[in-house]
């Protein structure tokens, strides 16, 4: 469905059409990705194909596509539960229209669409954080890539490995939920994520599991680059499995001098490494916005004991509500009237994902409450620091 939007500016510009992309828009979207993010022509076309043309949303004018981004329904695992979400991917504004507020307009329509689809959280990687902070987004988690010298990997084989043949996505269908028991923030992958994960060159991908059981541990290796082996995906159920994964990779040290993988801030493979021989290769934070804070709180999982507290949004006419947690699940209630925490609605996002603690936000002047309420909020949102294993 296409809708004409009329926007008012200091200088007169034409009306823009908000629409779902069509096949005829493919080349303009790919060109926008190349101009905005430095994608090669081949990578841009491949990305559009993997995400799917119908995932892209456009603002179009007389000159064609003025702004585009992909809207990918997904979930983020928090407290073991998949919270309904959307990834807003690669917001690209044509150079001639930058600085005119098109990103704000496009995101507002995409957020409305996401709410209508039942999403309670929107996440993105921002090329310009101040722009997205003005739109209500805050830092919510990390993307981290580690690199190790294969010569430094432990070499003590302690388990047996089995190659898994056939469709990789079939073997790994339950992998995100397995890892969600131990990690926060990971994506409940949509088909677009799987297509990106398994993108070409497919011939260089191989999947191995400990005793053939992905629940115990697995590695999806990419051997396309002869200077560095990549773990496109992996899982270690425990410390023994983490060391076994590194020992498995050490068997490739005569061919690949380096190994890279996405990992957690407190990473299992790093913990299994010796003190030397590895480094932080890349780190970037992703941003989030709660599209419906109360529904989001009710959909999250919790590992704390039963609890109850009030939340006060200091930037929305003192909006107040209660949250009751029992057996790991939450219910939004009427305010109890007892002491709670007060914060801006935007600042709830990093607390919600566990990226910032209540204590940290209080010291930063972004959250207020008495000591008992702040400690209670820390317990409610306690858990591993949130991260993702891909760039969306």
Distance in angstroms (rounded) separating the CA atoms of residues 251 and 32: 42
Whether residue 256 is contained in a domain is answered as yes
Are residues 128 and 227 both part of a single domain? no
Are residues 215 and 150 both part of a single domain? yes
Are residues 120 and 207 both part of a single domain? no
Name the residue among 51, 70, 68, 49 with its Cα closest to residue 59. Answer: 68
Specify the number of domains making up the chain. Answer: 3
Whether residue 386 is contained in a domain is answered as no
Strand 387-388 to strand 138-149: parallel, antiparallel, or no bridges (unpaired)?
Answer: parallel
DSSP for 330-379, written as a single string: EEEES--SS--EEE-HHHHHHHHHTSS-HHHHHHTTSEE--HHHHHHHHH
| Domain CATH for 19 | 3.40.630.30
Domain span at 366: 292-380
Are residues 150 and 269 both part of a single domain? yes
Whether residue 388 is contained in a domain is answered as no
In which region does residue 35 sit, left (phi positive, over 0), alpha (psi from -120 to 50) or beta (all else)? alpha
**Residue that is last in its domain, among 230, 256, 285:** 285
Whether residue 387 is contained in a domain is answered as no
Are residues 111 and 25 both part of a single domain? yes
- What does the block give as tokens for 325? 């947690």
Are residues 173 and 278 both part of a single domain? yes
How is residue 277 annotated by DSSP?
Answer: S
**Residue that is last in its domain, among 285, 308, 332:** 285
Q: How many CB atoms lie within 10 A of CB 166?
A: 8
Are residues 246 and 222 both part of a single domain? yes
Whether residue 98 is contained in a domain is answered as yes
How far out from the chain centre does Cα 214 lie? 22
| Domain CATH for 369 | 3.30.1050.10
Task: Enter the pTM of the model.
Answer: 0.92
Are residues 158 and 240 both part of a single domain? yes
**Residue that is last in its domain, among 107, 136, 165:** 136
Query: What is the full per-residue pLDDT of the chain (392 aa) written as tens digits?
Result: 455 454 433 344 568 999 999 999 999 999 999 999 999 999 999 999 999 999 999 999 888 999 999 999 999 999 999 999 999 999 999 999 998 899 999 999 999 999 999 999 999 999 899 999 999 999 999 999 999 999 999 988 779 999 999 999 999 998 888 899 899 999 999 999 999 999 888 889 999 999 999 999 999 999 999 999 999 999 999 999 999 999 999 999 999 999 999 999 999 999 999 989 999 999 999 999 999 999 999 999 999 989 999 999 998 876 899 999 999 999 999 999 888 999 999 999 999 999 999 999 999 999 999 999 999 999 999 999 999 999 99
- What does the block give as tokens for 278? 């590895």
């Amino acid at each position: 469905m296409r809708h004409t939007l009329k926007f008012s500016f200091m200088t007169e510009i034409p009306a823009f059409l908000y629409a779902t992309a069509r096949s005829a828009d493919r080349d303009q979207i790919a060109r926008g990705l190349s101009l905005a993010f430095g994608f090669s022509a081949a990578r841009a076309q491949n990305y559009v194909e993997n995400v799917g043309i119908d995932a892209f949303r456009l603002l179009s004018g007389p000159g064609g596509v003025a702004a585009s981004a992909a809207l990918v329904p997904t979930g983020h695992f928090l407290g073991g539960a998949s919270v309904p979400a959307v990834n807003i991917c690669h917001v690209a504004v044509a150079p001639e229209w930058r600085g005119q507020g098109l990103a704000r307009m496009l995101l507002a329509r995409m957020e409305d669409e996401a709410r209508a689809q039942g999403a309670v959280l929107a996440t993105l990687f921002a090329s310009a954080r101040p722009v997205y902070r003005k739109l209500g987004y805050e830092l919510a988690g990390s993307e981290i890539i580690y690199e190790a010298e294969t010569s430094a990997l432990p070499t003590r084989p302690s388990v047996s490995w089995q190659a898994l043949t056939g469709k990789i996505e079939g073997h790994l269908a339950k992998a995100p939920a397995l890892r969600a028991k131990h990690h926060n923030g990971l994506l409940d992958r949509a088909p677009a994520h799987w297509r990106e994960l398994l993108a070409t060159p497919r011939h260089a991908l191989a999947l191995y599991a400990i005793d053939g059981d992905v629940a115990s541990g697995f590695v999806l290796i990419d051997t396309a680059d002869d200077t560095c082996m990549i773990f496109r995906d992996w899982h270690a159920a425990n410390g023994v499995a983490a060391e076994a994964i590194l020992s498995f990779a050490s068997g490739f040290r005569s061919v690949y001098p380096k190994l890279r993988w996405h990992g957690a801030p407190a990473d299992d493979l790093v913990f299994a490494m010796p003190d030397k021989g590895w480094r932080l290769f890349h780190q970037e934070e992703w941003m989030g916005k709660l599209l419906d804070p109360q529904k989001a709180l009710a959909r999250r999982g919790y590992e704390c004991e039963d609890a109850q507290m009030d939340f006060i949004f200091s930037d929305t006419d003192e909006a107040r509500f209660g949250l009751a947690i029992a057996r790991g699940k939450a219910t939004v209630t009427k305010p109890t009237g007892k002491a709670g925490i007060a914060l801006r609605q935007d600042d709830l996002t990093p607390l919600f994902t566990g990226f910032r603690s209540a204590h940290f936000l209080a010291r930063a002047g972004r959250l207020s409450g008495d000591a008992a309420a702040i400690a209670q909020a820390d317990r409610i949102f306690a858990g591993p620091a949130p991260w993702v294993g891909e760039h969306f």
